[in-house]
Amino acid sequence: MLTQGSGALLLVIMAAIAVFLILQAIPALMMDTTSFLTTLKWDPDGVPSSFGIAALAFGSVLTALLALLMSVPVAVGAALVTSHYAPRWLARPLTYVVDLLAAVPSVVFGLWGLIYLVPNIIPPSKFLNHYLGFIPLFGSNGTYGKSIFAASIVLAIMVIPIVAAISREVFIQTPQDHIEAAWAIGATKWEVVRTAVLPYGRSGVISGTVLGFGRAIGETIAVALVLSANYEISIHILEPGGNTIAANIANRYGEAGDVGRGALIASGLVLFVITLVVNFGARVIVGRSGRGGTS
């Protein structure tokens, strides 16, 4: 009963959040003279009111996906090292160090990104543009600095402990008979991990990745500090610019009027929906792959 009640309470809280966002967003959306889903401009307190979520949603998803692309391999590798490769005397302190990253306030990551990363990311950005500039993602107009690339690196560091912790806990629970069966047929250490540990931990890795996506797409201060905010859609991640829903809320809320605050809440509603869709999609993937994956 207690478990069922807790689950029902969570559903009620989520529904209440959704209702609040919708009720607060409707007045601003009715004032909008353009298409909220496709407009790039953000001027909700102007006359006439004009604002849209297109550039913000694009920047949010792109930044979060790039952060996951960089962080998930590192996090899974760290989880494997601490669960199956490193000796116990070394695995425990390594685990503490990785988990400690989750306790660092996001503003600290943002300040580190602003003061250290942004100035020092220019040479790597030039390198990527010089050798991989034929790929649109690494194109540039010759300027570098506070970019989506920098924001993605900061988010990747913030996501690593989340994915690593969940993946590690699942890897540790791999049935011992699966591991011993792999050893018995002459498998190497990597083959044991590839055929027994990784398939069993697939659902855990997916779950950790989804939680990491939620952390990345909803981060505010750290992203706001390392992005040179604009309202344009550009696939060139090395150029200054880009914006996210969360960072826009942090930057704009203090100076927003009544319509502006409603518009920001409407953008928060879009972020809420994106997160829900990603979580439901992950649940479907986990359900089809099965707990632990027998392949």
Instruction: Map out the domains of the chain with their CATH numbers.
Output: 53-289 (1.10.3720.10)
Task: Report the pLDDT averaged over residues 46-60.
Answer: 91
Of 45-54, 228-237, 286-295, least confident by mean pLDDT is 286-295
Q: What is the pLDDT of residue 6?
A: 85
Task: Check pLDDT > 60 for residue 294.
Answer: no
Model pLDDT for residues 265-274, shown as the tens digit of each residue:
999 999 999 9
Task: Report the pLDDT averaged over residues 112-124.
Answer: 94
- The answer to whether 170 and 200 are in contact (CB under 8 A) is yes
Model pLDDT for residues 206-221, shown as the tens digit of each residue:
989 998 998 899 888 8
Q: What is the pLDDT of residue 289?
A: 63
- At 292, the pLDDT band (50, 70, 90 cuts) reads very low
Q: What is the pLDDT of residue 265?
A: 94
Q: What is the pLDDT of residue 88?
A: 86
Task: Check pLDDT > 50 for residue 52.
Answer: yes
Q: What is the pLDDT of residue 187?
A: 84
